[in-house]
């Protein structure tokens, strides 16, 4: 039995991609807060589309007023931060549209945010999007999928408590 099948047989959590693009290791993120996994383990996507979707079923814990990031607590307690781009908080909400609010229940695939990636890049920002498991220490295993192109909802992380 493969490790992945064994992981699922034990009731692991699967996190989907919140955005279409190229899945890369979180260690490729140049910001050390993400790349050195200070906030937690995870993955990153270099997005090719402007829509950011819920990666799991759960509740919106926080939507940053600038629209550059959203945190979701999964129904199983998984805490996920989706951070669109690096240092994009400095855009003060420009080029971002928020579609959810704190405490809102969401299903995997629900639209959370939109980001005008071309405008964000034109303003000089890196659009790489880290997806961080903020309560990584609660899991015995966090496995990221290998580098590949992903569509919203495609499996990117597998977690085991």
What pLDDT, on the 0 to 100 scale, is given for residue 12?
Answer: 86
Q: Name the more confident of 2 and 155.
A: 155
Q: What's the predicted TM-score (pTM) here?
A: 0.93
State the Cα angle at 69 between 64 and 72, rounded to 5°: 90
pLDDT at 9 over 80: no
Q: Is 150 exposed, middle or buried (0-12, 13-18, 19+ CB in 10 A)?
A: buried
pLDDT at 10 (0 to 100): 54
Distance (Å, whole) CA 35 – CA 132: 10
Residue 1 has pLDDT above 90, yes or no: no
Q: Give yes or no: 83 in active site.
A: yes
Whether residue 93 has pLDDT greater than 80: yes
| pLDDT value, residue 126 | 98
Query: Under DSSP, is residue 45 helix (H, G, I), strand (E, B) or coil?
Result: strand
pLDDT tier at 123 (50, 70, 90 boundaries)? very high
What's residue 6's pLDDT? 42
pLDDT for the residue numbered 4: 44
- Kindly tell me if the per-residue pLDDT of 131 is higher than 70: yes
Instruction: Catalytic residue, from 68, 83, 95, 99: name it.
Output: 83
**Polymer length of the chain:** 161
Give yes or no for residue 5 having a pLDDT over 50: no
């Amino acid at each position: 039995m493969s490790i992945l099948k064994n992981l699922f047989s034990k009731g692991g959590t699967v996190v989907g991609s919140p955005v279409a693009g190229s899945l890369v290791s979180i260690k490729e993120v140049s910001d050390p807060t993400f790349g050195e996994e200070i906030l937690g383990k995870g993955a990153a996507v270099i997005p090719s589309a402007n829509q950011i979707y819920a990666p799991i079923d759960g509740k919106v814990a926080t939507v940053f007023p600038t629209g550059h990031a959203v945190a979701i607590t999964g129904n199983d307690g998984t805490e996920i931060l989706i951070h669109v781009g690096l240092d994009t908080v400095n855009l003060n909400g420009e080029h971002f549209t928020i579609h959810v609010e704190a405490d809102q229940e969401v299903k995997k695939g629900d639209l959370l945010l939109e980001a005008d990636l071309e405008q964000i890049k034109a303003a000089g920002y890196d659009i790489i999007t880290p997806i961080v498991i903020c309560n990584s220490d609660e899991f015995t295993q966090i496995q990221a999928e290998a580098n590949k192109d992903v569509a919203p909802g495609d499996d990117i992380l597998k977690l085991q408590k």
